[in-house]
Chains A and B, each alone.
Chain A
Amino acid sequence: DGGITQSPKYLFRKEGQNVTLSCEQNLNHDAMYWYRQDPGQGLRLIYYSQIVNDFQKGDIAEGYSVSREKKESFPLTVTSAQKNPTAFYLCASSWNTYTGELFFGEGSRLTVL
Chain B
Amino acid sequence: SQQGEEDPQALSIQEGENATMNCSYKTSINNLQWYRQNSGRGLVHLILIRSNEREKHSGRLRVTLDTSKKSSSLLITASRAADTASYFCATDQASGGYQKVTFGTGTKLQVIP
Task: Give the B-binding residues of A (Cβ under 8 A).
Answer: 4, 33, 35, 40-45, 48, 50, 56, 58-59, 88, 90, 92, 94, 97-98, 100-107, 109
B98 touches A50 (CB 8 A): yes
- A88 contact set on B, CB distance < 8 A: 40
Total A-B pairs, Cβ < 8 A: 72
A45 touches B101 (CB 8 A): yes
Please list 25 pairs of residues, one from A and one from B, whose beta carbons are closer than 8 Å in the complex, sorted by A's number.
Answer: A40-B108, A41-B106, A42-B2, A42-B105, A42-B106, A45-B101, A45-B102, A48-B101, A56-B96, A58-B100, A88-B40, A90-B43, A94-B101, A97-B92, A97-B100, A98-B30, A100-B33, A100-B92, A100-B101, A102-B43, A102-B45, A106-B41, A107-B41, A107-B42, A109-B40
